[in-house]
Amino acid sequence: MSTITTKDGTNIFYRDWGSGQPITFSHGWPLSSDAWDRQMMFFGSRGFRVIAHDRRGHGRSDQTWDGNNMDRYADDLAELIEQLDLKDIVMIGHSTGGGEVARYIGRHGTSRVKKAVLLSAVPPIMLKSESNPEGTPREVFDSIREGTLTDRASFFKELSMAFYGFNREGAKQAPGLKDTFELQGVMAGVKAAYDCIEQFSETDFSEDLKKMDVPTLVAHGEDDQIVPIAAAAYKTIKLVPNGVLKTYPGGSHGLAQLTPDAFNQDVLDFINS
């Protein structure tokens, strides 16, 4: 397996395919880089170098007790980018991975970055508060913590219903995709998966978004039940200096896996614009 070892001794697994302009992919919780298979095949076959890593504690990376926080996630990504000496990168992040991309730019700047894509991403902040009334109540995240601790396999299988919109009337079911979601979820270490819940729900990325001075595509499903669009994309587009908003009517949180053709083409058009 291809890995880098970070400054704190953590082994981070990554896939590095193809050649050409690099595209990095940051996955959502509780998944792994395998969630990007359709995108990596699409862009890799079109002359891009595609790189996706498993966040620490997830997938095939080390299951760490410490360091499961957004700053460290961004620094791990920075170490990967620096060790591979990537330049003119298109950074793509989904959900928690979108927060990771924003925090990377907030901490490390855009000297190596050409463009960015935030897909169904958690910024600016998910947690509901007086200043963020469109957010998600804390009780929802507490229930995610309970499910993660008690019976992760069953909880992730249930969560996949809303993740892909399979719970909507008339939705076409994809049992294999649900199984894949569960399998990727249980590969994550329980400590890392548990810690990450606070990171994706309570981290405020507002200042990071303001530093995203490269062209940024903000893409979001209008029927996202995990990261509702009103608290995320509609606010993010007002904070990024050079953003383009693309919404998908009826689109779920997992639209890149469920309807990859449309998303991939939109990203390709954005890269080439």
CA dihedral 66, 71, 74, 75 (to 10 degrees): -70
Is residue 95 flagged as an active site residue?
Answer: yes
User: 90 vs 110, 112, 216, 253, CA distance in Å?
Assistant: 11, 9, 10, 21
| 253 labelled catalytic | yes
* Torsion of the alpha carbons at 111, 40, 5 and 71, rounded to the nearest 10: 50
pLDDT digits (tens, 9 = 90+) for 109-135: 999 999 999 999 999 999 999 999 999
In the chain, what are the domains?
3-272 (3.40.50.1820)
Q: Between the CA of residue 78 and those of 73, 82, 107, 111, 222, what are the distances in Å?
A: 9, 6, 9, 12, 31
Residue 95: predicted pLDDT: 98
Asked whether the bond before 260 is cis by omega within 30 degrees of 0, the reply is: no
Which of 27, 94, 224, 252 is catalytic? The answer is: 224
Alpha-carbon separation of residue 178 from 62, 71, 208, 257 (angstroms): 25, 30, 33, 11
Report yes or no: 68 and 2 within 8 Å, Cβ to Cβ. Answer: no
Active site residue 220: no
Q: What is the pTM of this model?
A: 0.98
Q: What is the mean pLDDT of residues 37-43?
A: 98
- Long-range pairs for 195-199: beta carbons < 8 A, 24 or more residues apart: 195/57, 195/68, 195/69, 196/29, 196/30, 196/55, 196/57, 196/68, 196/96, 197/29, 197/141, 197/144, 197/145, 197/148, 198/141, 199/68, 199/69, 199/70, 199/73, 199/96, 199/99
Of the residues 95, 120, 201, 252, only one is catalytic, namely: 95
Residues in the chain: 273
Work out the pLDDT band at 1, boundaries 50, 70, 90.
confident
Closest CA to 271 of 95, 123, 101, 88: 88
Residue among 225, 219, 266 nearest 240 (CA): 219
Q: What is the pLDDT of residues 210-269, one digit of tens each?
A: 999 999 999 999 999 999 999 999 999 999 999 999 999 999 999 999 999 999 999 999
- pLDDT attached to residue 40: 98
Average pLDDT, the chain: 98
Q: Are 122 and 200 in contact (CB under 8 A)?
A: yes
Q: How high is the pLDDT of residue 160?
A: 98
The pLDDT value recorded for residue 11 is 98
Structure-token match 């620096």, residue found: 82
Quickly count: other Cβ atoms within 10 Å of residue 45's Cβ: 11
